Amino acid sequence: MSGMADLPDVPQDRTPQLRASNADRERVAEILRTAAAEGRIDLDELDERLGAAYAAKTYADLVPLTRDLPVAAHPGPPMAVDNRIGGAPTSSGGVAVMGGFHRKGRWVVPPLFVGFAFWGGGELDLREARFAEAEVEIRLFAVMGGFEVIVPEDAEVIINGVGIMGGFDDRAAGPGVPGGPRIKVTGLAFWGGVDVKRLPPKEEVERRKLARKQERRQARLDRRMQRRLDT
């Protein structure tokens, strides 16, 4: 199996010299722990590779650590923010009257998206979306209805909605990373609600679930090995 899915073994640009993040190091560590649990590497080699993983400074330092392991996913640089800005909007609004609508997956968010829900609901998932402009506004009106808005973890989020006998959740408001999209959520919730959440991409959610499963597997392996040493 080839080295890295997202990072070529023979770099054509400066990508391997990009600084690795703590999440990248931990992803490699999880791959190594799984390999040890499957018997692909022994404990001494696991310790050696883990030490190198946590000491790694760039993606190039991480590549050799899993190159000989049959894994499907390898550490690669995060998606460039600039790649998400620009494009023709695919939808300018949505209406839910005693029904529902959703916008998710790879769609292009317009500079202004207007949603209206009456005895219905709408879902807006922006994690895989592109943004027509670096700053967009999501203007929502929920009357005896509701909206769920999922924003990327790296976005700057500003929430200025009003709730009257309803709720306009502002817990997801906060700064993002430099160069990330700026998302303003405004509007009115009357006998209804608007829920805004920060979530990682779906593949990252699955990765974290797998990481927890691998941690439990490693803990069981450690307990078995400790029992052997005790006997």
Place of tokens 């499907």: 72
3-state secondary structure of 6: coil
Q: Find all residues with CB under 8 Å of 161, minimum gap 6, and list them.
A: 140, 168, 170, 185, 186, 187, 188, 189, 194
- Run of H or E residues at 37: helix 22-37
- At position 211, the amino acid (one-letter code) is A
Judge whether 5 lies within some domain.
no
- Domain span holding position 143: 84-198
Total tally of structural domains belonging to the chain: 2
Residues 206 and 194 in one domain: no
Residues 96 and 181 in one domain: yes
3-state secondary structure of 47: helix
Residues 22 and 68 in one domain: yes
Judge whether 6 lies within some domain.
no
| pLDDT, position 71 | 54
Q: What is the DSSP letter of 174?
A: B
| pLDDT by 10s per residue, the chain, length 231 | 333 434 333 333 435 667 777 777 888 888 888 888 778 888 788 888 888 888 888 888 888 888 888 654 444 444 444 478 888 998 899 999 999 999 999 999 999 999 999 999 999 999 999 999 999 999 999 999 999 999 998 899 999 999 999 899 888 898 888 778 999 999 999 999 999 998 877 766 666 677 777 777 777 777 777 777 776
Residues 88 and 178 in one domain: yes
Judge whether 4 lies within some domain.
no
> Within 13 Å and on the Cβ side, how many CA atoms surround 77?
17
Judge whether 165 lies within some domain.
yes
| pLDDT, position 113 | 97
3-state secondary structure of 28: helix
Residues 181 and 134 in one domain: yes
Judge whether 7 lies within some domain.
no
Residue 53 CA to residue 219 CA, distance in Å, equals 20
